[in-house]
Amino acid sequence: MNDIQRAVELLRAGELVAFPTETVYGLGADARNPAAVAKIFAAKGRPADHPLIVHIPDATHLDRWARDISPAARALAEKFWPGPLTLILKRQPAVLDAITGGQDTVGLRIPNHPVALELLKAFDGGIAAPSANRFGRISPTTAQHVRDDLGDAVAMILDGGPCAVGIESTIVDMSGPRTTVLRPGMLSAYEIGHFLGRMPAEATGASPVRTPGTLEAHYAPETPLLVMPNDSLPIVLRDALVKQERVAVLATFPAPFAHPLIEWQVAPADPAGFAHDLYANLRLLDSLGCVRIFVEKPVGQPWQAIADRLQRAAAGSSVKSAHPANQKEETRQ
């Protein structure tokens, strides 16, 4: 029996199987099995009303899970699946409330990863799969990250290597008359709008549709994280050294000077590269026992999804800085 066959048997037996996608590793369960889905919430410590995304093997499965699917939604699926796009659609009545958070909508996607696709085709059904980590913490982009976070809570981990994209999918609500981006991802609103011939709306304030990964605090390290512009970094580093604090920095440029109290991680200067390495870099810096992590603030439309993740990571980290430079930056946002 190969790994895919064993994973399918475990899923059909109601067990949890972690598997790679192009975005992050997912914690999978049979989306039709209430007891199996409940194990996801228990393993992650996830709030019961927080919906899950159902991964399907191909677009012919759409109508098993969703109804009243618009031609535009089908066109998006045909264009961007497999890929880092989740569609929010009206649910079929048989979809479990635990999957939808009790809402009348369901999130669906086809991941673009050979291991995930092979698993889904062999399973021939929907696999509910949030990120395979403790709720609110840094998402996993390698099999080892899953082991570190969940350990024995997972019956099996399919190792497909590092995830190619590195941050979660773009979530687009197409359950009503408007097309709305509820969570930005590396598939941009511009690409979606260019294909549809009209730009999707961006979620403002509290969306009436609850979706994964859109809580104010999410994707967070244990170490307090602060996001700030380049010109603020020298100020906070000088203050940290005066206080003899060990700090970490994630930036797209090399450290201007070396110091034993500063852990400096250079990230790729392009958005795709930065996103690919983001969670691995945050996990690395979080493991170093620093007082806080400073991250260079990304600027510009191509960095929107990365800025979103960093903003939520900062909100979710355990302590916020009261440094004047950071407070000044917050007033400008």
End-of-domain residue from the set 170, 202, 234: 202
- Spatial neighbors of 305 by CB under 8 A, at least 6 apart, are 167, 170, 184, 185, 186, 188, 275
21 with 103, same domain? yes
63 with 17, same domain? yes
80 with 18, same domain? yes
Please indicate, yes or no, if residue 154 is contained in any of the structural domains: yes
- 256 token code pair: 């201007």
Q: Do residues 237 and 249 make contact, with C-beta atoms less than 8 angstroms apart?
A: yes
Long-range contacts of 32-36 (CB under 8 A, 24+ apart): 32/96, 32/125, 32/126, 34/96, 34/98, 36/11
191 with 319, same domain? no
Helix (H) or strand (E) holding 253: none
Please indicate, yes or no, if residue 208 is contained in any of the structural domains: no
CATH assignment of the domain containing 274: 3.40.50.11030
Show the domain range for 136: 3-202
161 with 229, same domain? no
Please indicate, yes or no, if residue 294 is contained in any of the structural domains: yes
Please indicate, yes or no, if residue 217 is contained in any of the structural domains: no
| Residue in the block written with tokens 């603020």 | 232
22 with 149, same domain? yes
Q: Which of 178, 218, 175 is nearest to 198 (CA)?
A: 178
Please indicate, yes or no, if residue 212 is contained in any of the structural domains: no
Q: Which of 85, 84, 33, 91 is nearest to 62 (CA)?
A: 91
Looking at residue 207, what is its pLDDT?
Answer: 66
189 with 236, same domain? no
55 with 194, same domain? yes
Please list the alpha-helical segments (H only) found in the chain: 3-12, 34-44, 62-65, 71-80, 97-100, 114-123, 143-150, 189-196, 233-242, 271-286, 304-316, 324-332
Residue 269 identity: A
CATH assignment of the domain containing 81: 3.90.870.10
Looking at residue 210, what is its pLDDT?
Answer: 81
Our count of domains for the chain comes to 2
| Residue in the block written with tokens 């929907």 | 126
Please indicate, yes or no, if residue 128 is contained in any of the structural domains: yes
186 with 263, same domain? no
pLDDT (tens, 9 = 90+) of the chain, 333 residues, equals: 699 999 999 999 999 999 999 999 999 999 999 999 999 999 999 998 899 999 999 999 999 999 999 999 999 999 999 999 999 999 999 999 999 999 999 999 999 999 999 999 999 999 999 999 999 999 999 999 999 999 999 999 999 999 999 999 999 999 999 999 999 999 999 999 999 999 999 887 666 788 887 788 899 999 999 999 988 998 999 999 999 999 999 999 999 889 999 999 999 999 999 999 999 999 999 999 999 999 999 999 999 999 999 999 999 985 444 333 333 333 222
- 73 token code pair: 């939604």
End-of-domain residue from the set 169, 202, 235: 202
> 3-class DSSP state for residue 224?
coil
pTM (two decimals): 0.92
196 with 229, same domain? no
Phi, psi dihedrals of residue 127, rounded to the nearest 5°: -115, 115
End-to-end CA distance of the chain: 54
Please list the alpha-helical segments (H only) found in 105-251: 114-123, 143-150, 189-196, 233-242
Please indicate, yes or no, if residue 100 is contained in any of the structural domains: yes
145 with 14, same domain? yes
Q: Do residues 75 and 165 make contact, with C-beta atoms less than 8 angstroms apart?
A: no
Please indicate, yes or no, if residue 250 is contained in any of the structural domains: yes
94 with 125, same domain? yes
Looking at residue 55, what is its pLDDT?
Answer: 98
Looking at residue 257, what is its pLDDT?
Answer: 87
Looking at residue 329, what is its pLDDT?
Answer: 34
End-of-domain residue from the set 202, 235, 260: 202
- 79 token code pair: 């264009």
Q: What's the rounded Cα separation, in Å, for the pair 267 and 277?
A: 7
Looking at residue 206, what is its pLDDT?
Answer: 62
> 3-class DSSP state for residue 139?
coil
